[in-house]
């Protein structure tokens, strides 16, 4: 049985797209991050209901020249690190309420 | 400003994005501070719906840092509704308030909404001095109570200490108070003219001797020798410098929807009740003119030894009558800091004229915001942190 991984933007952040990058600030400790173009695609797609492998397949592999395995490995490293900083939530169940109040703008 | 923030600001400048906006929700206030530059009457503030729409527009335009100020922001009954809308649009929100209306319940809501910083004005560690400046008995106690409520919630709080004749030497007391409350501290010896041009409140400014004392206080400015070092003159590179972020990556919106380059730069550029925010930002002739000005275009400042290092405020220069001219207040400040007179200072003192603003002073960035940045962030597909 396949294990799905769902990702959602935390509500305790400030974020804005700046060109092809994204600025993200943690509201808990004011740490500022910037996400590059590819990371920004994953960030924007982290709606809590789309599995990570689907995001990678549809948003990354469809646009960038990278194998699904390598892209998923990188994406898992990314979301793991973002989760450690409290700006992204990860679950094996859909996170339907976590980022629903946020309207991302690009 | 950190390296990462500077990098983001440079990118925003290149992309013509208003990275930072100060939005004043109201000019009404429950204090009556003797140095305040505002007309506190309500001349038709934006409605809740208008402000929410503006926030949507600002998010679409790329605004990230949103300072919500006033007046006293909690005088708006819809304050939390507005704040909730702003946070739902993922702005990085800083609040400026006197804290008088912040109790435990409000502090809990602010924490839940994830504001980045709350800045509270404290004029003195002596209650009688603070209350005499605010003209509101008991305000010191209420503001300090607010700081405690906010800190209990774990919120970052900054005590903002505006200095004037009445509290010239109290900054060390307020700084100690901030340490006791586990709050940050910033000092600002700036009394600006009223927004309607009335300059009578400038008489409250500290004198040169007091200003020199502030500039030479290591606790405030860090390395005094470096801070007060003589100017190094102007080279070719400096001539292409931009004055400050006002109109370049930052702007100000009044409670009535008027857009200006900065709260201290009252050059009207448009009104969001008639024109979309982003259209004002991109197309206003006034913004374009502000953006066109470099040090090279300033007849006096480009020839001044302080030109490359001066903290010249283009808004104060504009209020003196010429946005390409010097800001005499900053000339005074440069002289107090280094002992070297500016070109404008020499000219003025060679043919002195009565001018009330000569003591007006302004410091920006004495204590830059502290942020923690991890040495390294995420490998792989994250660029940097």
**Interface with chain A: mutation pick from B66, B376, B378, highest number of A CBs within 10 Å:** B378
Rounded to an integer, the average pLDDT of B190-199 is 82
Look at residue B241 in the predicted model and tell me its pLDDT: 81
Q: Please tell me which residue of chain A has the smallest CA distance to B84.
A: A101
Q: B302 or A29: whose pLDDT is higher?
A: B302
- Determine if the peptide bond prior to B204 is cis (ω within 30°): no
- Is residue B355 pLDDT above 80, yes or no? no
Contact B84, A101 (CB under 8 A): no
Look at residue A104 in the predicted model and tell me its pLDDT: 37
Which range has the top average pLDDT, B70-79, B207-216, B316-325?
B70-79
Look at residue A4 in the predicted model and tell me its pLDDT: 86
Look at residue B382 in the predicted model and tell me its pLDDT: 30
Cα separation, B120 vs B140, whole angstroms:
11
Rounded to an integer, the average pLDDT of B173-193 is 93
Cα separation, B377 vs B149, whole angstroms:
33
Categorize the per-residue pLDDT at B351 as very low, low, confident or very high, splitting at 50, 70 and 90. Answer: low
Categorize the per-residue pLDDT at B140 as very low, low, confident or very high, splitting at 50, 70 and 90. Answer: very high
Rounded to an integer, the average pLDDT of B265-280 is 97
Look at residue B233 in the predicted model and tell me its pLDDT: 87
Render each residue's pLDDT in chain A as its tens digit; 106 residues: 577 899 999 998 999 999 999 999 988 788 899 999 999 999 999 999 999 999 999 999 998 989 999 999 999 999 999 999 999 999 999 987 544 444 333 3
Interchain CB contact of A67 with B (< 8 Å): no
Look at residue A27 in the predicted model and tell me its pLDDT: 80
Look at residue B189 in the predicted model and tell me its pLDDT: 83
| DSSP characters over B108-171 | HHHHHHT-SEEEEE---SSHHHHHHHHT-TTHHHHHHHHHHHHHHTT--EEEEEE--GGGTT-H
Nearest by Cα to B143 from B117, B122, B157: B122
Q: State the ipTM, two decimals.
A: 0.86
Q: Do A25 and B17 touch (CB under 8 A)?
A: no
Categorize the per-residue pLDDT at B380 as very low, low, confident or very high, splitting at 50, 70 and 90. Answer: very low
Look at residue B132 in the predicted model and tell me its pLDDT: 97
Q: Do B384 and A34 touch (CB under 8 A)?
A: yes
Look at residue A1 in the predicted model and tell me its pLDDT: 59
Categorize the per-residue pLDDT at B353 as very low, low, confident or very high, splitting at 50, 70 and 90. Answer: low
Q: What percent of chain B has pLDDT over 90?
A: 69
Spell out where A1-106 has E strands.
Answer: 6-9, 13-18, 21-26, 32-35, 47-51, 88-91
Rounded to an integer, the average pLDDT of B271-295 is 97
Interchain CB contact of A70 with B (< 8 Å): no
Question: Mean pLDDT of all residues in chain B?
Answer: 88
Look at residue B384 in the predicted model and tell me its pLDDT: 30
Categorize the per-residue pLDDT at B367 as very low, low, confident or very high, splitting at 50, 70 and 90. Answer: very low
Q: Which residue is it, tokens 């597909």?
A: B381
Categorize the per-residue pLDDT at B195 as very low, low, confident or very high, splitting at 50, 70 and 90. Answer: confident
- pTM of the shown model: 0.88
Q: Which two tokens stand for residue A13?
A: 């952040």
In which element (H, E) is residue B51 found? Answer: helix B48-61
Q: Do A14 and B64 touch (CB under 8 A)?
A: yes
Cα separation, A41 vs A38, whole angstroms:
5
Least confident of B159-163, B195-199, B381-385: B381-385
- Smallest CA–CA distance, residue A70 to chain B, in Å, is 10
Q: Which residues of B139-159 are buried (b: 16+ CB within 10 A; e: fewer)?
A: bbebbbbbbbbbbebebbbbb
Cα separation, B173 vs A36, whole angstroms:
45
- Smallest CA–CA distance, residue B227 to chain A, in Å, is 27
Look at residue A35 in the predicted model and tell me its pLDDT: 95
Interchain CB contact of B111 with A (< 8 Å): no
- Is residue B378 pLDDT above 50, yes or no? no
Look at residue B371 in the predicted model and tell me its pLDDT: 31
Q: What percent of chain B has pLDDT over 70?
A: 91
Interchain CB contact of A36 with B (< 8 Å): yes
Look at residue B365 in the predicted model and tell me its pLDDT: 29
The domain defined by A6-91 carries CATH number 3.80.10.10: no
* A33 strand-pairing partners: A24
Look at residue B383 in the predicted model and tell me its pLDDT: 27
Provide, as residue numbers in chain A, all residues whose Cβ is less than 8 Å from the Cβ of B384: 34, 36
Look at residue B36 in the predicted model and tell me its pLDDT: 93
Rounded to an integer, the average pLDDT of B141-154 is 98
Look at residue A14 in the predicted model and tell me its pLDDT: 96
Categorize the per-residue pLDDT at B352 as very low, low, confident or very high, splitting at 50, 70 and 90. Answer: low
Interchain CB contact of B384 with A (< 8 Å): yes
């Amino acid at each position: 049985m396949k294990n799905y991984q769902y990702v959602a933007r935390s509500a305790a952040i400030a974020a804005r797209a700046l060109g092809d990058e994204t600025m993200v600030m943690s509201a808990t400790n004011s740490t500022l991050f910037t996400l590059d173009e590819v990371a920004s695609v994953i960030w924007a797609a982290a709606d809590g209901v789309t599995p990570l492998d689907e995001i990678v397949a549809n948003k990354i592999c469809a646009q960038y020249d990278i194998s699904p395995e390598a892209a998923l490995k990188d994406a898992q490293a990314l979301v793991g690190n973002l989760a450690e900083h409290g700006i992204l939530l990860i679950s094996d169940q859909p996170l339907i309420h976590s980022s629903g109040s946020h309207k991302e703008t690009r | 400003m950190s390296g990462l923030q500077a990098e983001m600001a440079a990118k925003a400048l290149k992309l013509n994005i208003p990275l930072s906006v100060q939005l004043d929700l109201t000019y009404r206030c429950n204090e009556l501070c003797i140095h305040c530059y505002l007309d506190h009457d309500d001349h038709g503030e934006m409605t809740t719906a208008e402000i929410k729409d503006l926030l949507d527009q600002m998010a679409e335009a790329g605004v990230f840092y949103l300072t919500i100020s006033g007046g006293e922001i909690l005088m708006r009954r819809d304050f939390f509704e507005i704040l909730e809308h702003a946070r739902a649009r993922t702005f990085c929100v800083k609040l400026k308030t006197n804290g008088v209306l912040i109790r435990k319940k409000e502090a809990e809501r602010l924490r839940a909404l994830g504001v980045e910083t709350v800045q509270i004005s404290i004029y003195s560690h002596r209650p009688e001095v603070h209350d005499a400046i605010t003209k509101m008995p008991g305000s010191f106690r209420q503001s300090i109570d607010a700081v405690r409520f906010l800190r209990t919630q774990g919120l970052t709080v900054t005590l903002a200490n505006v200095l004037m004749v009445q509290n010239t030497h109290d900054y060390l007391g307020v700084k100690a108070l901030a340490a006791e409350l586990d709050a940050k501290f910033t000092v600002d010896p700036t009394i600006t003219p009223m927004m309607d041009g009335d300059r009578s409140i400038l008489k409250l400014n500290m004198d040169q001797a007091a200003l020199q004392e502030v500039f030479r206080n290591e606790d405030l400015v860090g390395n005094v020798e470096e801070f007060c070092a003589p100017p190094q003159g102007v080279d070719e590179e400096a001539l292409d410098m931009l004055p400050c972020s006002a109109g370049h990556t930052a702007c100000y919106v009044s409670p009535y929807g008027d857009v200006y380059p900065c709260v201290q730069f009252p050059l009207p550029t448009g009104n969001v009740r008639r024109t979309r925010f982003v259209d004002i930002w991109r197309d206003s002739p006034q913004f374009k003119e502000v953006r066109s000005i470099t040090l090279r275009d300033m007849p006096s400042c480009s020839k001044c030894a302080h030109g490359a290092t001066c903290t010249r405020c283009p808004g104060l220069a504009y209020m003196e009558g010429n946005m390409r001219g010097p800001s005499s207040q900053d000339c005074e400040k440069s002289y107090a800091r280094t002992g070297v007179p500016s070109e404008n200072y020499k000219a003025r003192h060679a043919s002195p004229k009565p001018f009330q603003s000569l003591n007006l002073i302004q410091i920006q960035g004495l204590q830059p915001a502290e942020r923690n940045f991890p040495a390294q962030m995420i490998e792989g597909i994250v660029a940097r942190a």
